[in-house]
Structure 1
């Protein structure tokens, strides 16, 4: 007898094999911060309690009957605090955000490009982890121990919840990495500085992107063998492209990104990317990506996606998260129908919200539940 979980997983297997699934898969993501506040808990306290985090994640699974597990019961907030991490900083209410930091100076580009791993370990990490300044000799050991302690607290919870609530585990995630240019912008040069760098030191930026590409592909090579019986993927949040003019995108962003996707696939993984903001000006470039990729879109025009992007790829997202907070049930369902009418006929669509719920007031749970039930029926082929 086929279980509900097997039925849900088959939806994804069919998509990745280029077959028509029985219906459009449904993915709703609720961040652990949302789940904790939904329970009435404080981020400044319960975000550091593995027991409360698991309780909150389980509550989301009870409330949201999507095909995925809506909330992952795992977080490293305690690690960020313990290691004095500057790349994830809590606000007064306990919510963590990524500040616009630049631990790499412009003059250090050539040194970084010669050996990114060595530079990251010896110079960048000490600049972003306060614990390495406090304890240069054993700081890295302490970071690894902290991460392992936190991981042990959540060990086994994801598969337990997937089985209990019959959610799909068809797609596994081996690693989260960035397009080489995004790596520069998000973590070592900052959004603002990297856009100045491409004007003042364009060759240094190109050399750095090449070095980052090699560094990231080595990370993929070091991964253990993919979990059998799943579609093994690498997650890629794509950030900077919408803020670049086409000529800069073609010169600085696309070449190393395309080769990164090729390298990921050559190493036995599939690319699962999220095109943040509006990628409409760059949609045609996605047709040059090899193989079958999953491409999620935030605010790109769905009609242009359907018309321009090759159906060899899997499309995801597109449903505006904000509408679930501000709209009536009828408005929420009408928008879902509109998107399904545009994107579902390609038989390569995963219905998903554009952004996960982050804070307690980000959505109306009644609307979410009505949306899921509607898509289950209307999304049948």
Structure 2
């Protein structure tokens, strides 16, 4: 099969799954990070991250194709240490072995909730971002270092984009359409991970729960705004990488985490956008909550009981995960294949399933490449459906979507102006150039004001 035909075939696999149709076979994601691919190609992890270019990345990706068997390009999101250098980031730090990590730190004081609640975005820009990034302290330094940060992200993004597109065309891989993927901010994780910290948030939950709840709600307009995709497509998604939920009991989960999380998933669905959620830890105890999410939500589970997930969510959600990556390092080839068969027997019947490992490999020592390829080749050879083309459920997706967007005001900040607001202070010199100005303004607005560069 030609690369173009293979690309069309793979695109239909995902189109069918996301539309609630049983595909020709189980779609497959590779579970290899950029860090793994760099090291597998024999490159030094630390220095390579400072010198990304198309030729180098294509070489790394090509080497990785020795073990990759998935339907989408492996690798995915990569941190940018050059941008971090200009930021002088304290929230993302490169370790001595070249891995970029998020250290446990707190940048917001317990007595600052009132100021945060008043306008979260303005408070972030004025107070918190300079604390996270020492390069953003001082008006002139901030402007210059922010420009360098953005230019670095644009350069790296371009190199990765060209290299990935090269591999996609060579091997006929599926890629979500440009502009259809967004990172969804989750209020509880956002406040915990970047501002209060893992060790401080439990204190807030006990000592000032109402302040914390008000802060979570205050973040909703900004979260909704950031979650609006440039392009709505059934092949697109907003991505959530959950964190704190796994560390909460049911009572605290229901009180602090779930209300804003659930509403954001439904608001995205109102806008025509599916949510792809990585469930860090074991969410089996929250499975009744997950049943409330919109039909077609994509759940990637790290741990948990796959049978319960299939029984309670299999007709409504697209499921993936559960396969322990560690087994690929410690198990025999037969044990690894047997585990894949076990999960396929549970999760594959009636569709709504993508084969994904529970997490992705960071270093060559994380997996035995022979076991990795053996598992994916088994899925490729034995993941065909006899009832391809059947619908997974006759339930109407629209009936599963609750309307919440009307509960929240439009996001506003003195630092974020629409073009119509901007032209009041800088009007077009002639009506002929107004649409050209608007197009340019919106282009860079989406790149900067709605870009997850920090």
Q: Deviations over 1:74-103 (max 9, x none)?
A: 541221123211111011111111111211
Which structure 2 residue ranges, 5 or more long, are not aligned? 386-454
For residues 132 and 205 of structure 1, do their structure 2 counterparts lie closer, same or farther at Cα, with a shift above 3 Å needed? same
For residues 160 and 332 of structure 1, do their structure 2 counterparts lie closer, same or farther at Cα, with a shift above 3 Å needed? same
* Selected match of 2:148 from 142, 155, 158: 142
Deviation at 1:287, TM superposition (A): 0.8
1:14 match = 16
1:50 match = 52
The 5 Å alignment of 1:42-121 reads 42-51=44-53, 52-72=56-76, 74-121=78-125
For residues 73 and 175 of structure 1, do their structure 2 counterparts lie closer, same or farther at Cα, with a shift above 3 Å needed? closer
Across the two proteins, how many residue pairs are aligned to each other? 378
Q: Does 1:211 align with 2:218?
A: yes
Q: Deviations over 1:279-333 (max 9, x none)?
A: 0110111111123100110011111111222521100111111111111110100
Q: Does 1:169 align with 2:175?
A: yes
For residues 350 and 234 of structure 1, do their structure 2 counterparts lie closer, same or farther at Cα, with a shift above 3 Å needed? same
* Selected match of 2:202 from 195, 201, 210: 195
SS of the counterpart of 2:152? helix
For residues 116 and 249 of structure 1, do their structure 2 counterparts lie closer, same or farther at Cα, with a shift above 3 Å needed? same
Task: Tell me if the contact between 2:40 and 2:63 (Cα under 8 Å) persists in the aligned partners.
Answer: no
Bigger Rg, structure 1 or 2 = 2
How far, CA to CA, are the matches of 1:272 and 1:72 in structure 2?
A: 14
For residues 337 and 219 of structure 1, do their structure 2 counterparts lie closer, same or farther at Cα, with a shift above 3 Å needed? same
The 5 Å alignment of 1:182-331 reads 182-221=189-228, 223-226=229-232, 231-331=235-335
How far, CA to CA, are the matches of 2:364 and 2:379 in structure 1?
A: 24
SS of the counterpart of 1:273? strand
How far, CA to CA, are the matches of 1:202 and 1:219 in structure 2?
A: 26
Deviation at 1:31, TM superposition (A): 1.0
Which region of structure 1 is more displaced relative to structure 2, 303-312 or 368-377?
303-312
Normalised TM-score (structure 2)? 0.79
Task: Tell me if the contact between 1:103 and 1:128 (Cα under 8 Å) persists in the aligned partners.
Answer: yes
How far, CA to CA, are the matches of 2:224 and 2:39 in structure 1?
A: 38
SS of the counterpart of 2:15? helix
Q: Deviations over 1:225-266 (max 9, x none)?
A: 24x6x6110000111112111111111111111110111122
How far, CA to CA, are the matches of 1:160 and 1:209 in structure 2?
A: 42
For residues 58 and 211 of structure 1, do their structure 2 counterparts lie closer, same or farther at Cα, with a shift above 3 Å needed? farther
Q: Does 1:374 align with 2:382?
A: no
Q: Deviations over 1:357-378 (max 9, x none)?
A: 1012111111111111100122
2:400 match = none
Deviation at 1:140, TM superposition (A): 2.6
C-alpha RMSD over aligned residues: 1.8
How far, CA to CA, are the matches of 1:142 and 1:76 in structure 2?
A: 12
Which structure 1 residue ranges, 5 or more long, are not aligned? none
Task: Tell me if the contact between 1:311 and 1:348 (Cα under 8 Å) persists in the aligned partners.
Answer: yes
Task: Tell me if the contact between 1:53 and 1:73 (Cα under 8 Å) persists in the aligned partners.
Answer: no
Deviation at 1:142, TM superposition (A): 2.9
Task: Tell me if the contact between 2:25 and 2:384 (Cα under 8 Å) persists in the aligned partners.
Answer: yes
Normalised TM-score (structure 1)? 0.94
